[in-house]
Amino acid sequence: MQIQILPSLLAADFGHLADDIARAEASGAEALHLDVMDAHFVPNLSFGPDVVAVARAVAPGFYRHVHLMMTRPDLYLEPFAAAGAQTIQIHVEADCDIHAGLARIRAMGLRPAVVINPETPADAVYPYLRECDEVLVMTVHPGYGGQSFIAGCLRKVSDIRRRASVLGLDGLDIMVDGGVNGETGPQAAAAGANQFVAGSYLFRQKDMASAVRELRSACAASFTASP
Ligand code: DX5
Ligand code: ZN
């Protein structure tokens, strides 16, 4: 499986947003992770489609994953697609028809993904595994960067990887987001994750490119396809 590292723009310096998008792209990371918060689904506000459009303008070739921490993501799928989202991730805990949301994302030619919060059991995503390209297992309570990794979520990563394998979905991407660093990333890889979002850990590095390379190789060395 391809191991991917995704810097989270939430940890960027918003006074120098374009520079930090360019720095993330130049680090060699596979994609940019953009966290959208609505102050209802999570107790924080971040940004909307305009910032996704800035990322596209600054770094057109840098793939954009948009993580919608929104109670009603279904109201905003088209605006995010128009702004340049390439993967759109919606929470199974959202207040909308998840099957329909995933189908609409797919119909726009984008990659659909589902997300589960730390307290949500793994089997909450099972009804959607054939309809999405990726599952994001939150490893912190969403809303803020810089929190500590919740190791108890790793069991869900393995459960979802095994379930996907039973269904013949060996190419399913499984992502972890929250508290990922050089120590916790490889733990998630051992549980079957192949995509790693890291915000504060990567943006605080002087040399982001080395940190991305080291994190990728440590995760690749620990990755287990049959956990
Ligand atoms: C949390 C966001 C994360 C966040 C991760 O609600 O979904 O993407 O930016 O930040 P770190 O890597 O600092 O935990
Ligand atoms: Zn996120």
The CATH number of the domain holding residue 130 is 3.20.20.70
Paired sense of beta strands 195-198 and 173-177, if any: parallel
Query: How far apart are the C-alpha atoms of 197 and 136, rounded to whole Å?
Result: 10
Atom of ligand 1 at shortest range from CA of 202: 12
Domain that holds residue 160: 4-222
130 within a domain of the structure (yes/no): yes
Residues 169-191: what's their mean pLDDT?
98
168 within a domain of the structure (yes/no): yes
pLDDT of 31-79, one tens digit each?
999 999 999 999 999 999 999 999 999 999 999 999 999 999 999 999 9
Q: What's the CA-to-centroid distance between 34 and ligand 2, angstroms?
A: 7
218 within a domain of the structure (yes/no): yes
17 within a domain of the structure (yes/no): yes
To the question of pTM greater than 0.75 for the whole model, the response is: yes
Query: How far apart are the C-alpha atoms of 204 and 59, rounded to whole Å?
Result: 21
Residues 167-183: what's their mean pLDDT?
98
State whether the beta carbon of 142 lies less than 6 angstroms from ligand 1: yes
Instruction: Assign 160 a pLDDT band (cuts: 50, 70, 90).
Output: very high
Q: Which of 145, 126, 137 is nearest to 200 (CA)?
A: 145
Instruction: Assign 120 a pLDDT band (cuts: 50, 70, 90).
Output: very high
Handedness of CA 43, 90, 196, 27 (dihedral sign): negative
- The sheet carrying 173-177 orders its strands as 4-7, 195-198, 173-177, 134-138, 111-116, 87-91, 63-69, 31-37
Domains contained in the chain, number: 1
Instruction: Tell me what pLDDT residue 176 has.
Output: 99
227 within a domain of the structure (yes/no): no
In testing the pocket of ligand 1, which one of 37, 90, 115, 147 has its CB within 8 Å of the most ligand atoms? Answer: 147
From 13, 20, 35, 123, active-site residue:
35
23 within a domain of the structure (yes/no): yes
Secondary structure of 95-159 in HEC code, one letter for each residue: CCCHHHHHHHHHHCCCEEEEEECCCCCHHHHHHHCCCCCEEEEECCCCCCCCCCCCHHHHHHHHH
State whether the beta carbon of 200 lies less than 6 angstroms from ligand 1: yes
DSSP 195: E
Instruction: Tell me what pLDDT residue 209 has.
Output: 98
Q: Exposed, middle or buried, 17 (CB in 10 Å: 0-12/13-18/19+)?
A: middle
41 within a domain of the structure (yes/no): yes
Question: Which residue matches tokens 């995509």?
Answer: 195
Instruction: Tell me what pLDDT residue 221 has.
Output: 98
50 within a domain of the structure (yes/no): yes
